[in-house]
Amino acid sequence: MSVLTVDLAIVGAGPTGLFAAYYAGFRGLRTAVLDALPEAGGQITAMYPEKQIFDVAGFPEIKGRDLVENLLRQAAPFEPLYLLDRQATKLEHRDGKPVLDLADGTRIETEAVLVTGGLGSFAPRPLPAAEDFHGAGIVYFVPELAAHAGQDVVIVGGGDSAFDWALALQGIARSITIVHRREKFRAHQASVERVRGLGVPVIVNAQVTAIHGTEFVTGVDIDVKDEGSKTLPADAIVAALGFTADLGPLGEWGLDLDRRTIVVDSTMATNLPRVYAAGDIAAYPGKVKLIATGFGEAATAVNNAAVAIDPDAHLFPGHSSENP
């Protein structure tokens, strides 16, 4: 068994976790950042890396991918240890300090733990028609827009992600068609109108019934209410059907939970000693789930953890502009 020793273990490499890695470094703490996903960035990297984000302070707009890159650059001077594609499975305490076991057999002995796991473990909802198709070309996220250059793309779904991908792929893909099983959409009306204004076909009351191709997708059959069956050309299918989420092993750690969130106090402390939570996974009265909120919670959690680790430390960290 490999054993690592750090001051703070951050469980979750989304925006909140990455900012916490910076702040922990600023406080002089050695940090490990864990995530079950293979890349840093959490849901942003997995679901909307090309989407513009408008509510991060100091950025009138910024792509999700660029926000993640900036957060990684911000933390880089403090050399956090990234343990990606590794799930934290077990938490216990020894001599009052947390010990984390990872699925790959690694053990992390730490002074404190900060859980920034967003919605927990999440997985895309499958496309039923894809069960019998074993070739390439069906995706649930679009991490690289350029991968679909010159392709005929069929997007299945009616939520924000479906219309965001349609807008992002405009001018890159050869053609884009949205297929949705209902007449009404969960997506924001402005996004729907923009997509339709660009002339993107939006086929409603339709289901994908079959996928053509062997090694690669070559087309899809859809069944349209009152119109019957149609075949659409397709080199790629984006199944934007939402996702399911659960806490996974976190739910067995003995944390005080409120549905799929972890109850914290004003210091972001949980009911377990030296275990904190921040970001979407943390719950308290009046909580607003925003990236901006998570950033503030990360700073609060790290500063309080620093005092728990070293009682002689000051809660207020000083101003970053004074840091040499």
The neighbouring-strand residues paired with 32 are 9, 81
Regarding whether 226 and 274 lie in a shared domain, the answer is no
- Residue 141 marked in a binding site: no
Segment among 5-9, 268-272, 320-324 with least mean pLDDT: 320-324
- Residue 280 marked in a binding site: yes
- Tracing tokens 């859809």 back to the chain, one arrives at 222
Task: Give me the domain span that covers residue 12.
Answer: 3-122+243-322
Kindly report, residue by residue over 146-201, the tens digit of the pLDDT: 999 999 999 999 988 899 889 989 999 999 999 999 999 988 898 899 999 999 99
Regarding whether 74 and 29 lie in a shared domain, the answer is yes
Q: What is the DSSP string of 196-218?
A: HHTT--EE-SEEEEEEE-SSB--
pLDDT for the residue numbered 49: 75
Kindly report, residue by residue over 261-283, the tens digit of the pLDDT: 999 999 999 999 999 999 999 99
Q: What is the average pLDDT across 26-35? A: 96
Kindly report, residue by residue over 287-300, the tens digit of the pLDDT: 999 999 999 999 99
Regarding whether 8 and 116 lie in a shared domain, the answer is yes
Token pair of 99, please?
A: 């010990």
- Residue 177 marked in a binding site: no
Q: Within its chain, how far is the Cα of 242 from the centroid? A: 13
- Residue 321 marked in a binding site: yes
Regarding whether 199 and 294 lie in a shared domain, the answer is no
Average confidence score pLDDT of the chain: 92
Regarding whether 130 and 111 lie in a shared domain, the answer is no
pLDDT for the residue numbered 187: 87
- Residue 16 marked in a binding site: yes
Please say which residue of 211, 239, 267 terminates a domain: 239
Token pair of 151, please?
A: 């392709």
Regarding whether 138 and 109 lie in a shared domain, the answer is no
Regarding whether 306 and 161 lie in a shared domain, the answer is no
247 φ, ψ (degrees, to nearest 5): -75, -15
Beta strand 261-263 with 257-258: parallel, antiparallel or unpaired?
A: antiparallel
The CATH number of the domain where 263 resides is what?
A: 3.50.50.60
pLDDT for the residue numbered 244: 72
d(CA 64, CA 45): 7
- Residue 48 marked in a binding site: yes
pTM, two decimal places: 0.78
pLDDT for the residue numbered 121: 65
d(CA 247, CA 264): 16
Please say which residue of 239, 259, 276 terminates a domain: 239
Regarding whether 134 and 115 lie in a shared domain, the answer is no
Regarding whether 312 and 219 lie in a shared domain, the answer is no
| Helix residue spans in 93-234 (DSSP H) | 160-169, 189-197
Regarding whether 150 and 81 lie in a shared domain, the answer is no
Kindly report, residue by residue over 9-26, the tens digit of the pLDDT: 999 999 999 999 999 999
Kindly report, residue by residue over 197-234, the tens digit of the pLDDT: 999 999 999 999 999 998 999 999 999 998 999 999 99
Determine the 3-state secondary structure of 73 from DSSP: helix
Split into its structural domains, the chain has a count of: 2
Regarding whether 146 and 68 lie in a shared domain, the answer is no
Please say which residue of 179, 210, 239 terminates a domain: 239
